[in-house]
Amino acid sequence: MAESTEFSHGDEELVNQPVAYWAWAANKTLSAYVRGRLAAITVTQPQWWVLHQVLHSEAGAATRDEVISAQQANLDVGAGLLPDIDLLVERKLLVSDDSGRLHLTDEGRALHQRAAETQRANRERVHAGISDEDYLITLKVLQRMIRNAGGDLTPSR
């Protein structure tokens, strides 16, 4: 079988490469890609998480604490979201009602829609040439390795 030039090493070498390095490289590269594409439409990745969380919360509203609690699993951002929430309120993309629940404004909904479209395009580009079956296998292998190393796969939500 001929070796593909799209990979960093031949199969005999690649099988001995450290998964932690490649997981880190994938995280660094993909995070930068997604963040750059979102920045082009004037939203940060954490702000996208906030807008998405509020929109998809019960009755389309959530308190600051509910948003932070729901986002704990996203790269350990947690309480670090407060400045992003404040900025979204300052930009009039979110508004807080009398009970402290955040709602998207019309401008916030429009930005959420653009960000959702951007995220769909990001996924399409990043997944190009990768079947759903290969993607699923990759995630399952990574999860098995996490479990083998004593990690917890339980969602933090």
Q: Distance between CA atoms of 1 and 84, rounded to whole angstroms?
A: 50
Tell me the CB-side half-sphere exposure of residue 143, using CA atoms within 13 A.
Answer: 9
The confidence score (pLDDT) of residue 73 equals 66
Q: Distance between CA atoms of 136 and 139, rounded to whole angstroms?
A: 5
Q: 14 or 107, which is more confident?
A: 107
Domains and CATH numbers, the chain: 35-123 (1.10.10.10)
Q: 3, 18, 6, 2: which is closest to 130 by C-alpha?
A: 6
Q: 71 or 40, which is more confident?
A: 40
pLDDT band at 74 (very low <50, low <70, confident <90, very high): low
Could you give the 3-state DSSP secondary structure of residue 33? helix
The confidence score (pLDDT) of residue 96 equals 95
Question: pLDDT, tens digit, for every residue of 86-137?
Answer: 999 999 999 999 999 999 999 999 999 999 999 999 999 999 999 999 999 9
The confidence score (pLDDT) of residue 9 equals 86
67 contact partners, CB below 8 Å, separation of at least 6: 50, 53, 54, 57, 81, 85, 102
The confidence score (pLDDT) of residue 129 equals 95
63 contact partners, CB below 8 Å, separation of at least 6: 100, 101, 102
Strand partners, 61: 103
The confidence score (pLDDT) of residue 1 equals 44
Are 24 and 67 spatial neighbours (Cβ–Cβ below 8 Å)?
A: no
| pLDDT of 78 over the 70 cut | no
The confidence score (pLDDT) of residue 94 equals 98
pLDDT band at 71 (very low <50, low <70, confident <90, very high): confident
